[in-house]
Amino acid sequence: MILKNVHPAYDWQEIAHLALCSRLMDEMEENELTPKGLVTYQFSARGHELGQLLVSQLLDRPYDAASVYYRSRPFMLGSGLSLEEAFASDMARTGSINGGRDVGVVFSMPRRKRAMVLPMAADVGSQFTPAAGYAQGLVYHKNELKTADLEDSIAVVFAGDGAVAANGFWSSLTIATTLKLPLLFVIEDNDYAISVTSPHQTPGANIAANLASFANLKIWDGSGTNPEEAAELAHRAVQYVRSWQGPGLLRLRVPRLSGHSSVDNQAYKEEEALQEEWTRDPIQAIKEYLVPTAMRENVWERMLLDAKRDVRLAKDAALAQPYAEPETVTQFALSTKDNVQQVGGLLAAGIELPKGTDVPNPVDPRRINMVEAIRRTMEVELKVNPRCLTFGEDVGYKGGVHAATLGLQKAYGEGRVFDTSLNEEGIIGRAVGMAYAGLMPVPEIQFRKYADPATEQINNSGTVRWRTNGRFAAPLVIRIPGGFRKIGDPWHSVTSEVTFAHQPGLLFAAPSNAEDTVGLLRTALRGNDPVIFFEHRAMLDAGWARRPYPGDDFMLPFGKAKTITEGDELTVVTWGAMVERCELAAKDLEGVEIIDLRTLAPWDETAVLQSIQKTSKCLVVHEDIGFGGFGAEISATIVSKAFLDLDAPVERVAAPSVPVPFSTRLMEGVVPTIERIRERMEFLLAY
């Protein structure tokens, strides 16, 4: 049916049908399914339907993508999510988009008939920087890869007015405007962030007005419930961003016609405010826009009946689905050969990099330091893989504060090796979006402590494969230097590797020398999981850590430890800078076997247990704080699986529960010294 007297860019019959379906679903969940316990956590989109459906229809290019939030179900329906899937997601059934692993409105979806929906997280504001990264990925595809069918694809990110106070919003705004990215921000302003009103979120309660003078940003502001106005605003905004002149921000005023969630009764709203919101109901506005000028009343009524039927059938079909079985819960925690993701990384793009060897083949006996090992490995991988790129603060012309990327920008250009704004959320969030665009991003965080602002994005990159039921993944390599050097301090000398090792879905490497650095970094760069690559500052130029370059094909498997010295009296388990100190501490001691784990996630449990079968004693040495440190995990595993092999308690040498001090003298009381390590070795040998 061709509808007349309406904006021609849209299929208004579909908009009306899906708006009705979305509204009926919300009402059914709120009034029936949630009270019965069939939906345990419900977020309504009532009042938000129109603008989302309009934008969904405009995103029809091959690489269009959207980053959404928890009130975006109408957009999901417009992008191809079925009604049954939508119900099943809120009911946590097997046919849901995430298999019951995540909240039903935490959305993601590979491309169907319209935009791909990037995996969201429930952290408010976390959807912004991955969208910026995906938009930058589009630019990379165009400029570096010369992707043929890119056309004028764009990225869109949706959010409520409360989210514009978040770190991720301002970070992504900086990224998008400084780089003039094809990114459209759609802010649905419903005046409330749960109960907090707009003036407490944004000065003057209008983010569009505040950003009117923001350089390189085009602004549109208006009603999200008036069909004629909203349709024109959405069309102008999308068409402008498709021109690739720069980003835009579309603010749509909408009412929130339900509580924040199913547990919010809106008692903080006055009755007058509640009544005013209903005067802006977009469903009624859509009907008035279409009837009678574009369709007859009976057509609308028939559409309403069809929507009621479709919603009822979808609900019944979802209720018939089973719940996932508990034994399947660990699936998709990490990549496997049998379950390759549909979106994200190289494998999803059909690209396999060359296999390597774990046998070193040095052609030059010259010993290089760890900095050169990193640089040479990155140089090889940038040449082998045109989808590999590296970035961070000072990573470009300066070559990084540790000189690990020195010369790479000159060799490979600013499109592949570049500086970023000073925001770690933005560095890692954009890397996640680039991974979704089929790239292999290698972001650098200057020091371990500086990664703290990016914690959400780091953790979410690890769980995305699991949360999306194996459909999406974000393979990337995050390089993070850290640890003490000749001097320390609380800001540059932190290790706290247990923080990352504890997070699901992340791999963690902590090489102690140049050879292992090459092998583990290359494996990470050719892998299919997100990796934290920890580069110890004390070892970057240490003489002990220098080794000959092992060759361009050298790759080491994660989870495979290395025996540094062999013995049958005492097993010493360590990693990073402590490997050298343990070796020095064991000098002239008989029977000490030192194991360098090299990676903590996974860690080589087998090698440790086999060693303890010989020695019957174990000492774990690490630089991080002892309380709750990774040594506790190793000790617990030994006690659980090798208790009968032990002839002495498992001992640890680690830091006390204080930061690393600036004073070199004080630092001796924190970072394990050779003397402290040797004392514990001698204690156990004599036990």
Hey, which residues are catalytic here? 492
- Strand 592-596 and strand 562-565: pairing? antiparallel
User: What secondary structure, in 3-state letters, does 569-620 show?
Assistant: CEEEEECCCHHHHHHHHCCCCCCEEEEECCEEECCCHHHHHHHHHHHCCEEE
Check if the beta carbon of residue 536 is closer than 8 Å to that of residue 512. Answer: yes
Check if the beta carbon of residue 361 is closer than 8 Å to that of residue 553. Answer: yes
Check if the beta carbon of residue 310 is closer than 8 Å to that of residue 21. Answer: yes
Q: How far apart (Å, rounded) are the C-alpha atoms in residues 499 and 478?
A: 14
In eight-state DSSP terms, residue 435 is H
Q: Which residue has the tokens 């459906």?
A: 53
Q: How far apart (Å, rounded) are the C-alpha atoms in residues 118 and 134?
A: 9
Amino acid of residue 163: A
User: What secondary structure, in 3-state letters, does 113-154 show?
Assistant: CCCEEECCCCCCCCCHHHHHHHHHHHHHHHHHHCCHHHCCCC
Element holding 271 (H helix, E strand): helix 271-278
| 537: Cα separation from own chain's centroid | 26
Q: How far apart (Å, rounded) are the C-alpha atoms in residues 206 and 249?
A: 12
Q: How far apart (Å, rounded) are the C-alpha atoms in residues 422 and 171?
A: 9
26 closest CA partner among 105, 92, 101: 105
Angle at 206 between CA 204 and CA 209, to 5 degrees: 100
Q: What is the C-alpha end-to-end distance of the chain, expressed in Å? A: 88
Token digits of residue 596: 């360098």
Q: How far apart (Å, rounded) are the C-alpha atoms in residues 276 and 550?
A: 71
187 closest CA partner among 171, 205, 213, 199: 205
Q: How far apart (Å, rounded) are the C-alpha atoms in residues 182 and 247?
A: 5
Give the torsion sign (CA, 599, 600, 606, 610).
positive
What are residue 218's DSSP bridge partners? 248
